[in-house]
Chains A and B, each alone.
Chain A
């Protein structure tokens, strides 16, 4: 038990030392730059598809659920569009999308770095005078911080569009009532709040997963385990920080 607790402290320390290596000044800018371009593709562009699919269906089902369950006559039907919009903006497109991306991006990062570790590619980088942690991880962080907000915006737009499709094609809610609801009392700070959240969640996914992968010891079995740990730990920390940030920013 005591050993477990000491282990947690040890790993926290190790994580922060790792972060320090990641953000230390690059020895040469140019190789980093071409890495960033590759990461834009791997982390950013490759995630658009899944975010769009999940968002459009969730937007649709949120609208449908609200429409079916708000049957009380004193509750105005415009609340359906209003609720769907704010649910996407506040929680779904930031928290849920991050959880989904932790499964995709996080496991990908951990297994990529883990494989590089066990096949000695990381050692090879070090021999060639490269700060491997910085070279491999910093471009991923940059790509994440650039792309996650874009993915967030896409998710909000497509999610609301999914809701609108429900209104258009089914009779659960009338289209004009739905769009009127979408325009109701919009609070711009909700967007800022969500941007802050998604940036922090992206950073958590990226660095925690990289940390798991970078220090893999052993063989391919350990790479698989690291990749699972990456997803589990990122998800737990995202959910924890979601509560903390909501408390700090919205109350």
Chain B
């Protein structure tokens, strides 16, 4: 279980998060939604410790992460896999080297063992015969897949994805959603996904947290959201719903 308690985050004179508390369901997909600039990325960065909250704390299975020692943070990060908004694959490394990297840093495995693990992970996301290619030689969808392979190679307990299907065509985006859903069902990772794509939310979210203006405006399940009694949330979903009706 990942839990955030009363998180505030301020940049200079701009308060981006204004007291967010939430519990992310263990072993399931939790989607954070909200319009662009609402603070989804900042919240996720605070959860993994790339940003320090101005106030508040983050807990991983009741272990307090915020403000803990670097060494302890590293212990927890060993259990985290993260897919960044643009993939964030290392340009100077091949796909295989990218996928091996977390094993290099976190484990004492032999090289052959690491390669084997990486290849299995790449297969799992549907990438074969691209091990020796560089990220720039892959399509956007393949880069996202490689980023997911790198995130899951060390069997993380927690998986975080920042807009995993942004910048992809709807069909490829749907495939990535499908892939994440399958992986989470298989490995039971506590997963947080940032998205503003309501299609993904309806397809894969077990729990939804709606952020608006730095506050948590609504939370609930996939079935409750359509009838949610929250004006801002309805406004946020409206373009999507009217589009759905037309089709």
Contacts and interface: CB of A to CB of B under 8 A. Distances in A.
Q: How large is the interface on A (under 10, 10 to 19, 20 to 34, 35 or more residues)?
A: 10 to 19
B241 interface: no
A152 B74 CA distance: 42
Interface string B14-45: 00000000000000000000000000000001
B93 to A, nearest CB: 10
B92 interface: yes
A28 B80 contact: no
A124 B90 contact: yes
Contacts of A123: 45, 50, 84, 88
A126 B89 CA distance: 13
A38 B92 contact: yes
Interface in A122-154: 123-124, 126-130
B106 A120 contact: no
B150 to A, nearest CB: 8
Contacts of A121: 88-91
A140 to B, nearest CB: 13
A124 B92 CA distance: 14
Given A28-B105, A115-B91, A128-B101, A120 B48 contact: no
Contacts of B80: 127
Interface string B67-78: 000000010011
A188 interface: no
A27 interface: yes
A119 interface: yes
A183 B59 CA distance: 73
A123 B82 CA distance: 10
Contacts of A129: 74, 77-78, 105-106
A31 interface: yes
Contacts of B223: none
Contacts of B77: 127-129
Q: Chain B CB within 10 Å — which of A116, A119, A126, A128 has the most? A: A128
Contact of B50 (A31, A116, A126): A126
B105 A124 contact: no
A30 interface: yes
Nearest to B77: A129
A127 B104 contact: no
B85 interface: yes
Given A119-B88, A123-B84, A31 B104 contact: yes
28 contacts: A28-B104, A28-B105, A30-B104, A38-B92, A116-B90, A116-B91, A119-B86, A119-B91, A120-B84, A120-B85, A120-B86, A120-B88, A121-B89, A121-B90, A123-B45, A124-B82, A124-B84, A124-B90, A126-B50, A127-B48, A127-B80, A128-B102, A128-B106, A129-B74, A129-B77, A129-B105, A129-B106, A130-B105
Interface of A: 27-28, 30-31, 38, 115-116, 119-121, 123-124, 126-130
Interface of B: 45, 48, 50, 74, 77-78, 80, 82, 84-86, 88-92, 101-102, 104-106
Given A127-B50, A127-B80, 19 more contacts: A31-B104, A116-B91, A119-B86, A119-B88, A119-B91, A120-B88, A121-B88, A121-B89, A121-B91, A123-B45, A123-B50, A124-B82, A124-B88, A124-B90, A126-B50, A127-B77, A127-B82, A129-B78, A129-B105
8 interchain residue pairs of minimum CB distance: A120-B88, A124-B88, A120-B84, A129-B74, A127-B82, A128-B105, A128-B102, A121-B88
